Amino acid sequence: MNKVLMQGNKIIAEAAIRAGCLFYAGYPITPQNEIPEYMSERLRQVKGGVFVQSESEIAAIHMVIGASAAGARSMTSSSSPGISLKQEGISSLAACELPAVIVNMMRGGPGLGNICPAQGDYFQATRGGGHGDYRVIVLGPDSAQELADLTMDAFELADRYRTPVMILADGMMGQMMEPVVFKKPKPRDYPESFIMKGAGAGKSKIIRGLILDPLEMEEHNWRLHRKYELIAQKETRHELYKADDAEIIIVAYGTGARIAEGAIKRLREAGLRAGLFRPISLWPFPTNELRDLAKKVENFLVFEMSTGQMVEDVRLAIQGRARIGFHGRPGGVVPTPIELANVIGRLYDRKEGIIDRIV
Amino acid sequence: MMVKTIFSGFGGQGVLMMGYTLAHGAMSAGYHVTFLPAYGAEVRGGTANCTVAVSDDEIASPIASKPDNIVVLNTPSLYTFQNRVAPEGALFLNSSIIAVEPSRHDVRIFKIPSSEIAEKLGNPRTANTVMMGAFLKTTGLVPPDIFLSSMETVMGSKKKSVIEINHKAFAAGYKFLK
């Protein structure tokens, strides 16, 4: 296997191509511009590949809807403000049960914010984002290798459940270079019957999100819900780091988890037993796995590059079984491991305080 | 072992190239490595910098709050980064352009007139490679032959003469520091 040194954005694009992505549409925005740049070059070399720099983010996501209905593995990417614009289309993808991969390289917000790495789009990503009763599978990579692996997995999950999948990373993941090995993706297994390519003599195929009969729409909602329940049962992913003997567990994802690992290394050198719980699937959130950990650990600290969003999922998981602290740096600030280590050190052997205090 | 280095200078001086080539070389030498560029509204003549971490263990954070080395090619970069270098760390500066003295006295300071050396060799644009020669002579982070073959890989499609002059520039920088 060949190890190559590549930038995060380009890794996603290359992994998508290798996974058989044939259609990409997008509109430029920092810090993810290398994705469309790379796709424009590579899709040209792939048989049947189509690249469109669309007139807007809204146009891009709707082109993805069309390409997906036509049977192509399809992708779009953007950064926070652009992802907000795409929500109407993501809701439609969910309603029409069409597979697609959406990449969000988060930046500081709200509004146009800035172009620095941030994690303020957690709510938007994990709660559906657009209107209506739906969920999006959300994966949060924390290394170059995971950017490649999770992008390939995203296409597979999207096909298997016929639902949009989001890669939720940030500007630092997108810009950083690290060595990566591209694994061989599994061949695509997507039934012909879902593809809009003419019904022939058979029954006509209809893909629609507009269902005017409320009872029919209700049944559609419950059917989607059952699918999401199944995903929640089968597709949660997480990783533990030095958690076996930990007195305090840091819960962090993506870039935040990288910083937390640095802090944990420092604390371990000083003799403090800190560990990490890193959700990889942000929706479905690894609720049960985190709850199990709360049986033996009393102190948790949630660290996010936001004012506190994932902390709500942590509270729901732990349900008052342990103390939960929070440290956040929103707006595009990437703190150092030293800063986080100081915060953890302060909370390390907290014995008092309200269990599950509202931060 | 964990060594973090910040490279900084004007956009166009080849600062990102230095960091990228070092990262590529370190990867080829079998180390874990991360390369983090400062990104944004960067323009030619503006400032550019990048952070390279090289370690024999997995690298947690790619950011350097206390870099072991800084390599600065212009005066604004010296002002920006000199206070960050870890005590006992190393500061490499392009003395052809930087006329001021660093304010730090607890770090090792290496002054290399890299722009002048590069000019004498016939191509002022190789000042960054001169610097890398001096940098690797001192730090020994990556063996010179591995670095040079990475440099050829990174330059890839460039003309053969460009690669040759960069080899010369590297050797000149390497020889400059005793």
Secondary structure letter of residue B122 according to DSSP: T
Across the interface, whether the CB atoms of A179 and B27 are under 8 A apart is answered yes
Measured in degrees and rounded to the nearest 5, phi and psi for residue A38 equal -70, -40
Judged by a CB distance cut-off of 8 A, whether residue B35 touches chain A is yes
Tokens of B81: 């980064």
Is the CB of B39 less than 8 angstroms away from the CB of A30? Answer: yes
Tokens of A61: 């996501």
Share of chain A above pLDDT 70, in %: 97
Among all chains, which residue has been given the structure tokens 């400062």?
B38
> What is the mean pLDDT of the segment spanning A18-28?
98
Helix (H, G, I), strand (E, B) or coil at A122: helix
Domain count of the fold of chain B: 1
Of A333, A9, A26, A335, the closest CA to residue A175 belongs to A9
Distance CA A313, CA A219 (A): 28
Q: Indicate the helix (H) or strand (E) that contains A291.
A: helix A287-293
- DSSP class per residue in A74-120: EEEEE-HHHHHHHHHHHHHHHHHT--EEEEEEEBS-STT--SSB--T
A213 beta partners: none
State the nearest Cα–Cα gap between A177 and chain B, in angstroms: 5
Structural domain for B53, as ranges: 2-176
pLDDT band at residue A346 under the 50/70/90 scheme: confident
Inter-chain residue contact B36 with A338, CB threshold 8 Å: no
Amino acid identity at A104: N
pLDDT-based confidence at A359, cuts 50/70/90?
very low
Report the residue from B23, B39, B61 with minimal CB separation from A175.
B39
Q: Which of A5, A6, A239 to mutate to test the interface with B (most CBs of B within 10 A)?
A: A5
* Minimal Cβ distance to B35: which of A116, A177, A262: A177
Contact (CB<8Å) A175/B37: yes
Give all domains of chain A, ordered by start, each with its CATH number.
3-234 (3.40.50.970), 239-347 (3.40.50.920)
Of A78, A232, A75, A80, the C-alpha closest to A154 is A75
Contact residues, chain A, for B39 at CB < 8 Å? 30-31, 115, 171, 175
Task: Enumerate residues 36 to 65 of chain B having a beta carbon within 8 A of any beta carbon in chain A.
Answer: 36-37, 39-41, 60-63, 65
Q: Do A261 and B60 touch (CB under 8 A)?
A: yes
Res. A352: pLDDT tops 70: no
Q: Which position has the token pair 């902390």?
A: A311
> What's the pLDDT tens digit per position in B134-162?
999 999 999 999 999 999 999 987 788 99
Quote ipTM for the complex: 0.92
C-beta of residue A197 within 8 angstroms of C-beta of residue A71:
yes
**Residue A307: CA count within 13 A, CB half-sphere:** 4
Residues whose CB is less than 8 angstroms from the CB of residue A50 and which lie 6 or more positions away in sequence, other chains included = A22, A23, A24, A43, A67, A72
**CATH number of the domain encompassing residue B24:** 3.40.920.10
The whole-number average pLDDT for the span A303-323 is: 95
Distance CA B126, CA B124 (A): 5
Nearest to B102 by CA among B134, B119, B80, B120: B80
Candidates B17, B20, B61, B66: best to mutate against A (most CBs of A within 10 A) is: B61
pLDDT in tens, A255-271: 999 999 999 999 999 99
B112-126 pLDDT per residue, tens: 999 999 999 999 999
